[in-house]
Amino acid sequence: MARVLLADLERVWRGGQEQALLLMAGLQKRGHNVELVAVRDAAIALRAQAAGIRVHAVSDSMRRIGAARRIRKLVAGEKRFDIVHGNEAHALTAAWLARSHRHVPLVAARRVAFPLSRSRISLARYGAASKILAVSEAARKQLLAAGLPSDRIEIVCDGVEMPGKIPTETREKARKRWGFVPEEIVMECVAALTEEKGHALLIEAFAKLRARPGGGLLRLLLAGDGRLRPQLEQRARDAGVQSAVVFAGFVPDVEAVYAAGDLFVFPSLQEGAGSSVLRAMAFGLPAVALKRGGVGEIIEDGRNGVLTPEATPEGLAQAVERVLADRPLMDRLSRAGRESVAQHYSAERMIDATEGIFLELIAEKARNK
């Protein structure tokens, strides 16, 4: 049995926090002891507590310093853990400041495909990790470009739980929740409202689709919140589609979003992987996305989804139109998407891979004592 201390200092709930909770719950189910260092009352702290995981809460103010002190006490002082996992950058900084790597193996997660900062502190904290878990080959390439050693980088893809077939009554209830009538076709996206997610591009593409013959039946459901929401709402008004776009905000029961939709569109301009794309595919939604970052590793154009290399409103609109105009294609993408997730991106595969790395590092540490 391994004793795992996972740290995540994000205040909001996004894909990385969902993956962390899946990992912790899965490891705990397999008999490992897993505890969490998190910001008090943050979404991941509350959900972990509800799942029966012990949480070491730190104050939101000076969260990295507070977490570093707590990690140091747990790892160096009480010596209660065999391994520390920094699930995001702030947590990794706290674990590095705590000098946890001098006592137990430190594992870092890298979920984005942005270039890694070349600052001394950034390189030092990643350099202290025994292993860095890159979510995709795109994320791995950025780590290599920063000069980090390849033998310390492992690709561990996101994993999602496979849902069952959505009952008709569940779908009807979800569509009524956001005011969709049966004949309407619902395009949707689940992502934080930030620049790199490409919502502005999606709204412009949606406006083009609405202006085409039959486009009046299209609706757009955007689930997620963020500081760009007022700007995006204004963009929808300027494009004349505000009445056809639903800004749902953060939806805790996000399964309802997937149940309501007909097509998932992911216009992210720079993505490490895209766990919401995987969730959509698992629910059987045909997926359309930009060929950027790790998304191009998940979707094979024309087989289990549709990709467009053009980050333009017209390019995205054409990709969506390609799917909507071909019902047999939609059905094939739906089936193939679910099969791809089940075979390559299940939660169990993610937990298996991470558990194996943890146990290998712990065993190596024991051999070198």
CA–CA separation, 213 vs 115, rounded Å?
42
Q: How confident is residue 270, by pLDDT bands cut at 50, 70 and 90?
A: confident
For 110-124, the pLDDT digits (tens) are: 999 888 988 888 899
Count of beta carbons in the 10 Å neighbourhood of residue 56: 18
At residue 271, the pLDDT reads 87
**Would the pLDDT of 369 be above 80?**
no
CA–CA separation, 363 vs 368, rounded Å?
9
At residue 56, the pLDDT reads 97
What's the mean pLDDT in 202-212? 97
Q: How confident is residue 273, by pLDDT bands cut at 50, 70 and 90?
A: confident
Q: How confident is residue 234, by pLDDT bands cut at 50, 70 and 90?
A: very high
Please give the sequence-ordered ranges of beta strands (E in DSSP) within the chain, or none if there are none: 3-8, 33-39, 54-58, 83-86, 106-110, 131-134, 153-155, 185-190, 218-223, 245-249, 263-266, 287-290, 306-308
| Neighbouring residues of 358: CB distance < 8 A, sequence distance ≥ 6 | 2, 4, 82, 83, 85, 107
Torsion, Cα 67 73 79 80, to 10 degrees, reads: -50
What's the mean pLDDT in 201-227? 96
Q: How confident is residue 208, by pLDDT bands cut at 50, 70 and 90?
A: very high
**Would the pLDDT of 106 be above 90?**
yes
pTM: 0.93
Domains and their CATH numbers in the chain: 3-159+346-367 (3.40.50.2000), 168-344 (3.40.50.2000)
